[in-house]
Amino acid sequence: MARFMVPKSHPRYWSLYYRHKLEEALEKGILAKAGMIAHGRGEAFDYLIGEKTIEPAEKAMKAAVAKFLLAEHPVVSVNGNVAALVPEETIELANALNAKLEINLFYRSEERVRTIADELRKYDPDVELLGINPTKRIPNLESERGKVDEEGIWKADVVLVPLEDGDRTEALVAMGKFVVTVDLNPLSRSARMADITIVDNIVRAYPYMIKLAEEMRSWPREKLERIIRNYDNGRTLNAVLIHVRDRLTELAEGGIWRRKEL
Ligand code: PTJ
């Protein structure tokens, strides 16, 4: 695979950088082919949001971290896109939240699971990984994608399933799990079905959540409980749509032709 040669001065440097990471991950067998398409959809929504972390996402992240810190069996799920974009941050986040890590793939093959496990172990050789030999199945979810680990998602009370397919999110909610997702598309089924939806790019969301977790870890239980009680995911999704609407209105009124920065 050719090295990434784009100069840092390129106006779309970071976008191209992460695309390159995905290309590499595809070659290594970490990423599903459809992961490329999923990323493109995410990028399109990131443009609409403004490629920055917006206030509704900050609120969702705070509530998600509070919920994780209070959980009994918290689990952070990893798929191919996540392993390609934020492998190190995934491990750091699970540590900061005291959560287990489970490889859980939509397009599951034993080889991909192994490749992703090897990739994560490059960042922490001792990392504990679940989902390698899953023995349980999510009810009403057909084929490979329903396989989960008895010690992980199966017994979890709170699960983080980023960049996820809507069916599985819905099935996890139906199992009584509290489901948190990260999804740039506020209209996706996952975004609408989850208990907490973080509408942000995972490359910005995970570092932000790691910092939050380190800060909030020492907060009293009641304070964390209050954050969760006051959180309303419907309101968050509406606020994201209103943000996009207002942003597009401002851009349309201000004009974008030959404008360098949005
Ligand atoms: O690795 P696997 O086999 O588990 O497969 C992973 C994919 C992503 C291919 C699979 O879960 C899938 O098909 O997902 P969907 O249904 O395409 O949903 C992925 C969602 O993630 C879409 O709504 C995208 O907008 C969103 N998304 C893509 N990239 C990012 C993102 N959200 C946040 N940050 C991103 N970088």
Q: Is the CB of 38 under 6 A from ligand 1?
A: yes
Q: Is the CB of 86 under 6 A from ligand 1?
A: no
The whole-number pLDDT of residue 256 equals 96
The DSSP symbol for 181 reads: E
Length reported for the chain: 262
Query: Nearest C-alpha to atom 20 of ligand 1 is from which residue?
Result: 163
Nearest alpha carbon to residue 60 among 223, 180, 157: 180
Q: Is the CB of 41 under 6 A from ligand 1?
A: yes
Query: Nearest C-alpha to atom 1 of ligand 1 is from which residue?
Result: 80
Amino acid at 120: L
Domain boundaries, the chain: 55-240
- β-pairing verdict for 178-182 and 158-160: parallel
Instruction: Return the ligand 1 atom nearest residue 80 CA.
Output: 1
Distance CA 131, CA 19 (A): 27
pLDDT averaged over every residue in the chain: 96
Token pair belonging to 66 = 């509070």
Class of domain 55-240: alpha beta
Q: Is the CB of 194 under 6 A from ligand 1?
A: no
pLDDT one-digit tens code per residue, 52-90: 999 999 999 999 999 999 999 999 999 999 999 999 999
- β-pairing verdict for 136-137 and 147-148: antiparallel
Centre of ligand 1 to C-alpha 68, Å, is: 22
The whole-number pLDDT of residue 144 equals 77
The pTM (predicted TM-score) of the whole model is 0.97
The whole-number pLDDT of residue 1 equals 76
pLDDT one-digit tens code per residue, 3-43: 899 999 998 999 999 999 999 999 999 999 999 999 999 99
The whole-number pLDDT of residue 2 equals 80
The whole-number pLDDT of residue 204 equals 98
Summarize the confidence of residues 151-177 as an average pLDDT: 96
pLDDT one-digit tens code per residue, 105-145: 999 999 999 999 999 999 999 999 999 999 999 998 877 77
The whole-number pLDDT of residue 148 equals 96
Token pair belonging to 30 = 């970490």
Summarize the confidence of residues 83-98 as an average pLDDT: 98
